[in-house]
Amino acid sequence: MFSTRVTRPGRAGVVEVAFTDRHGGVSRPPFDSLDLGGAADRCDEAKANADRVARGLGVGRLTVMHQASGCGVAVVDSAAPPQAPCDAMVTATYDVALCVRVADCVPVVLADVNSGVLGVVHAGRRGVTAGVVGATIDTMRARGGEEIEAWVGSHVCGGCYEVPAKMRAEVSAAVPAAYSCTTWGTPALDLGAAVTRQLEESRCRVSDVSGCTLESPDLFSYRRDGARSGRFAGIVVLKPPT
């Protein structure tokens, strides 16, 4: 169920960080089995899967967003999902389990264990170019986030994410670290490197917990499976001090 799980005690409470994989859920092939995406025809299974993940983390529910591939940041103070589409959420409320869902884009989880300000980011090509990572960190800092730690989760790697040369030129003009080549020598983007650079520029301490979605059978990949791909997730929650 979880590919990564981290517990960080701090002054504000205990921060739990988790990334899911595709195992331990109820969805049937090709979405087997822990698909958290849930298009209309499979939302019952996705809800059952989300409930399993929430139970695994000891929370009531996951707070998901309707992701828009832009750079909107929603500040949430309850477990209810944001009304408007967005690509990042920030909270400082106990037991609100922020959840970003992906299948190749970069899931980023953010936490300051002392102020208790948390964030998640859906960092796709458009969001990275538009600066969604920096916008999220600015929002966290405005709410008291100081020593922000970041976890970069699994995504399609810079050796696999082939794009047209023009697209590589456009994205790497905005974020030079995104420039990459596939292992077979064609233009590519390294969104993980781009996000890491943006996090470091925003003075975050970065932990890379990523694998390549396209190469790993344990993860969902839209590039590999298209419409037959599920979604996995990055999650962060602050629990009260014990």
Q: How far apart are CA 106 and CA 116, in angstroms?
A: 23
Scanning 109-117, 138-146, 207-215, 221-229 for contacts with Zn ion by CB under 5 A, the matching segment is 207-215
Minimum CB–partner distance for residue 54 and Zn ion (Å): 30
- Residues 146 to 185: which contact Zn ion by CB under 5 A? 157, 160
Cβ proximity to Zn ion, 88 vs 123, nearer residue: 123
Question: 3-state DSSP call for residue 17?
Answer: strand
Cβ proximity to Zn ion, 51 vs 215, nearer residue: 215
Minimum CB–partner distance for residue 197 and Zn ion (Å): 19
Residue from 212, 219, 237, 238 in contact with Zn ion (CB under 5 A) = 212
Q: How far apart are CA 132 and CA 130, in angstroms?
A: 6
Asked if residues 110 and 140 have their Cβ atoms less than 8 Å apart, the reply is yes
* Residue 109 makes contact with Zn ion by CB under 5 A: no
Minimum CB–partner distance for residue 160 and Zn ion (Å): 3
Contacts for 117 with CB less than 8 Å, ≥ 6 apart: 90, 91, 92, 111, 140, 143, 144, 145, 148
Q: Where are any strands of DSSP class E within the chain?
A: 2-10, 13-20, 62-64, 73-75, 88-91, 97-102, 106-112, 117-123, 149-152, 179-181, 187-189, 205-208, 232-239
Minimum CB–partner distance for residue 214 and Zn ion (Å): 5
Minimum CB–partner distance for residue 146 and Zn ion (Å): 34
Scanning 2-10, 50-58, 104-112, 212-220 for contacts with Zn ion by CB under 5 A, the matching segment is 212-220
Residue from 23, 215, 216, 223 in contact with Zn ion (CB under 5 A) = 215
Cβ proximity to Zn ion, 88 vs 156, nearer residue: 156
Question: 3-state DSSP call for residue 32?
Answer: coil
Q: How far apart are CA 96 and CA 68, in angstroms?
A: 21
Scanning 85-93, 107-115, 205-213, 218-226 for contacts with Zn ion by CB under 5 A, the matching segment is 205-213
Cβ proximity to Zn ion, 27 vs 221, nearer residue: 221
Q: How far apart are CA 140 and CA 241, in angstroms?
A: 21
Scanning 13-21, 52-60, 103-111, 215-223 for contacts with Zn ion by CB under 5 A, the matching segment is 215-223
Minimum CB–partner distance for residue 213 and Zn ion (Å): 8
Scanning 31-39, 141-149, 208-216, 221-229 for contacts with Zn ion by CB under 5 A, the matching segment is 208-216
42-49 contact pairs (CB < 8 A, 24+): 49/25
What is the CB neighbour count within 10 angstroms for residue 69?
15
Contact positions toward Zn ion, by CB under 5 A? 157, 160, 212, 214-215
